[in-house]
Structure 1
Amino acid sequence: MKCIKTDVLIIGAGSGGLSVAAGAVQMGADVVLLEGHKMGGDCLNYGCVPSKALIASGKAAYGQQHSAQYGVADGPGDVDYAAAKDHVADVIAQIAPLDSVERFEGLGVTVIQEFGRFISETEVQAGDTVITARRIVIATGSSPLVPPIPGLENVPFETNETLFELREKPKHLLIIGGGPIGLEMAQAHIRIGCKVTVIEGAKALGKDDPELAAIVLDTLRDEGVEIAEDAMAAEIRGKAGAIEVEAKDGRVFKGSHLLMAVGRKTNTDKLDLEKAGIERTKTGIKVDASLRTTHRKVYAIGDVAGGLQFTHVAGYHAGVIIRSMLFALPSKAKISHIPWATYTDPELAQVGLTEAQAKEVHGASLEVVRFHYAHNDRAIAERKTKGFIKVMVVKGRPVGASIVGYQAGELISLWALALANRMKMSQIAAMVAPYPTIGEVNKRAAGAYFSPRLFENDIVKRVVGLVQRFIP
């Protein structure tokens, strides 16, 4: 058995773990990184990267089929499913070197390609190596949740970990789960020529503002996706190519393939946390505001910390704990400025409080301003006028923003910046956006906040009148 001592030990080489490793080693710390599966974690190999690549294939096909509005004849938009998957694999391959063992060893990180588990409060074993570290970071991420639905164990099904390896196009894809993953994959597959049914036990996109979510859901239905809500799966039966999902209310949905997209579970089973005195919660590992576990020298970041499960959150967590671990400075994680986006077409994005949440917190002091894409000249030119932005404002400061429409995932960044830095609406309004851009939507939303104060204000009008009469 080989023994290693290090400053920082990181368990898991997904987005959060890699960010900590790169930051810590370049700032002078001795770093050991453990990964028993694929470098880059779920995001690179099974999640964000491959899903967006497949969505791009769907957009290309849909664009060909709907180009007449630009004066270009509609095309067939035929998709070679296996070639689309080759495109997905190529995208992963282009990004993979940034997350590779070779890159991180080149930075000076000791990479051990084994799973890690605690064997005491101060030691972690990975293969035939025992590591003792001054600080330990658990960044093991999450995996697709597969609920115990009767019959599922006897039926072939896909998760995000297997879907992108599928080479034959599903004739009719059944998707259990109407959240972001389920709906992104539903639209991608309908556009590349599959029939698609989404089966959701409650409300599709139930965590988002229902007014904005309705625009996305209506669009998917218009494209041919069947979305069945309040359809809790009670039984699954059949075989490859002929699968049935029966809901509790008796509805039966038939398809050729099944994708489980009902959520995520944190990866903690292999860690033997109890040997280090680290407590769990129902959603992951128990952490405080500084992301420390119940063992003061051990941190948990990203999905495994049991909060928002996004790649950019894991990266943000990495910055929080680097400040604490390397510089012994107080550092706490916040969520009020964390944005998220669903990459359907139109996109759906959120940061801070939704309208309903803001009303509950701020009551009568809340103002809600809106601006519609239909009044943006670039959106009109691009035929992308579906959607709007909604900004929740309290005493001149935004406390939340919701956007549905073209490039919503890009537009939300400005509002994340505003919330992170407690900016005022006047600062957003002072920004000059190039014309014509979709980005003007943000500035015009800020303008919508000030318009009634300027143009519907009798005092302002009287002042202007006096100036015009008496100032030469």
Structure 2
Amino acid sequence: MKKNKQFDYDLIVIGSGAGGSVAAHIANKAGLSVAIIEANLIGGECPNVGCVPTKALLQAAEIYEAAKNSSKFGIRGANVGYNYPSIKAWKDLAVKRTGTYLGEEVYSKEGIHVIHGSAHFINPNEVTVGRARYSARNFLIATGGKLAIPPIEGLEKTGFLTFHEAINLIRPPRSLAIIGGGAIGCEFAQLFTIFGTKVHIIDIAPRLLAREDVDAGKFIEERFKKQYSITVSMEATVDKVESFGGRKRLTIKNKQGESQIIAVEEILIATGKRGLVDIGLENAGVHYENSTITTDPYMQTTQKNIYAAGDCVGPYQFTHTATYQSRIAANNIMHPRKKISTDYRAVPRCIFTNPEIASVGPTEQELIAKKIKYKKVNVPITVIGRANTSDISHGFVKILADSKTGVLLGATIASPHGGEMIHELTLAIQNNMKAEQVANTIHAFPTWSEAIRVACAKIMRS
């Protein structure tokens, strides 16, 4: 471990998730002395209790659902069953294979000092962890986020699940109320419904996936209601929760003020996260507002030697944006005279329902709000051969382009493998490409990505 004469370290990273670990490795390889402070699990939320375990469970659910519906392909799947403890074991294996449990060993081999505990700033160059004190020339704050639990009467007393607990259930609940209709709520709704849970989603927003394009929310709500018999209560709030007869009873109120009472076995809170900022930022001169640390385009906070990245910063709470911000911060810490800035024009967003919902760039409603003139097409996924060979009758590719130039602005995909497909459009938007350029690019037949070419060709002619 390399030591700095004036400070204990050149760089101290607070948080070992994507927002912190990337910068720690980059700085260490460049010759800086680096320490990383972690209050919880090495690797952070995503590989341990977030993205990785949920996607492993969703993969199992997708296989089970496909097997149950395989008779149309000549497969005898009528008696297919599942063993949920074995599914959980598969999830645990997927988490283990990410290698995060080896994180401390990897850091040590590289010469990065791992410090366990909660960091607290005492001035811009020093933090305490327990009774110990550590100093650094620069800091990167990557503390992540904490779950936002709504202040519902009786909720704490009655008890509830978050996704942290939901991934470790030994069996699916018989019935489940999900408070929150965003990405997490929708993924768990489909997951548990496939394994036999009766699900009811409640959200104050006017539609599911409210931050995504309006067509995405309408599409997934229709799918949930028709194919999965999921009950959806939009523009509704939960006024009260109480225990009743061994179950949990929720009083739901709609926008007209009418009340409905439902009883379920479990409640899942999926109302998002807020940045984790209670680390003495005031002592360091770092400004934050509404649980979000203020940074400039270079990921620098209001204290010039302190940077921040990840969920505690925003504007997105994705692992891939945290990784991106961490790279930017590392560069700017090491090369203050050759800073690079962030560019969020083309950030892919993926929701791992079946089919997947993926998007990039502004939504149609955002273009309207900004008074940007645009043209659009919405092509059903059934126009391509791959949908026929896979017997898929639902899904779409929606393209938004500048009304005059044809430059691509945004896109939304609802399709099998939509999360993979979106990167073609991400690259196109990042490089200011026109729909014509994508339409004139040869796409292999029969692939799902053909739908992108068809949509771009159609918007050219509009």
TM tier, shorter chain? over 0.9
Q: Which residue of 1 aligns with 2:221?
A: 217
The answer to whether the 8 Å contact 2:19/2:142 transfers is: yes
1:369, distance to aligned residue in structure 2 (A): 2.7
Q: Which residue of 1 aligns with 2:426?
A: 416
1:398, distance to aligned residue in structure 2 (A): 0.4
Q: Which residue of 1 aligns with 2:53?
A: 50
- Cα distance in structure 2, aligned partners of 1:196 and 1:319: 40
Q: Which residue of 2 aligns with 1:383?
A: 391
- Cα distance in structure 2, aligned partners of 1:340 and 1:259: 23
The answer to whether the 8 Å contact 1:64/1:77 transfers is: yes
Unaligned runs of 5+ in 1: 453-472
1:16, distance to aligned residue in structure 2 (A): 1.1
The answer to whether the 8 Å contact 1:4/1:130 transfers is: no
Q: Which amino acid aligns with 1:383?
A: D
1:362, distance to aligned residue in structure 2 (A): 5.1
Q: Which residue of 2 aligns with 1:403?
A: 413
Q: Deviations over 1:27-72 (max 9, x none)?
A: 2222111102101111111111111111112112211111122222
Aligned positions of 1:430-449 closer than 5 A = 430-449=440-459
The answer to whether the 8 Å contact 1:243/1:256 transfers is: yes
The answer to whether the 8 Å contact 1:156/1:239 transfers is: no
Q: Which residue of 2 aligns with 1:317?
A: 325
Which one has the largest radius of gyration? 1
- Cα distance in structure 2, aligned partners of 1:353 and 1:164: 32
- Cα distance in structure 2, aligned partners of 1:223 and 1:419: 35
Q: Which residue of 2 aligns with 1:368?
A: 376
Q: Which residue of 1 aligns with 2:287?
A: 279
1:378, distance to aligned residue in structure 2 (A): 1.2
1:98, distance to aligned residue in structure 2 (A): 7.6
Q: Which residue of 1 aligns with 2:140?
A: 137
Change (3 A) 1:190 1:132: same
**1:352 correspondence with 2:361:** yes
Q: Deviations over 1:238-271 (max 9, x none)?
A: 16950011123311121001111111121122x1
The answer to whether the 8 Å contact 1:119/1:276 transfers is: yes
| Partner secondary structure for residue 92 of structure 1 | helix
Q: Which has the higher helix share?
A: 1
1:10, distance to aligned residue in structure 2 (A): 0.4
- Cα distance in structure 2, aligned partners of 1:81 and 1:197: 21
Q: Which residue of 1 aligns with 2:341?
A: 332
Which runs of at least 4 in structure 1 moved beyond 3 Å after TM superposition?
359-363
Q: Which amino acid aligns with 2:451?
A: V
- Cα distance in structure 2, aligned partners of 1:361 and 1:201: 24
- Cα distance in structure 2, aligned partners of 1:27 and 1:385: 52
Q: Which amino acid aligns with 2:322?
A: A
Query: Cα RMSD between the aligned structures?
Result: 1.9
- Cα distance in structure 2, aligned partners of 1:133 and 1:331: 22
| Partner secondary structure for residue 308 of structure 1 | coil
Q: Which amino acid aligns with 2:352?
A: Y
- Cα distance in structure 2, aligned partners of 1:23 and 1:445: 40
Q: Which amino acid aligns with 2:20?
A: G
Which of 177, 181, 186 is equivalent to 1:178? 181
Change (3 A) 1:449 1:12: same
TM-score relative to the length of structure 2:
0.93
- Cα distance in structure 2, aligned partners of 1:88 and 1:225: 24
The answer to whether the 8 Å contact 1:18/1:99 transfers is: no
TM-score relative to the length of structure 1:
0.91
Change (3 A) 1:240 1:296: farther
Q: Which residue of 1 aligns with 2:312?
A: 304
The answer to whether the 8 Å contact 2:19/2:325 transfers is: yes
| Partner secondary structure for residue 118 of structure 1 | strand
Q: Which residue of 2 aligns with 1:13?
A: 16
The answer to whether the 8 Å contact 1:78/1:192 transfers is: no
Change (3 A) 1:268 1:199: same
The answer to whether the 8 Å contact 1:30/1:109 transfers is: yes
Q: Which residue of 2 aligns with 1:229?
A: 234
Which of 261, 264, 272 is equivalent to 1:263? 272
Question: How many residue pairs get matched?
Answer: 449
Q: Determine what percentage of the aligned residue pairs are the same residue.
A: 29
Q: Which residue of 2 aligns with 1:467?
A: none
Q: Which residue of 2 aligns with 1:114?
A: 117
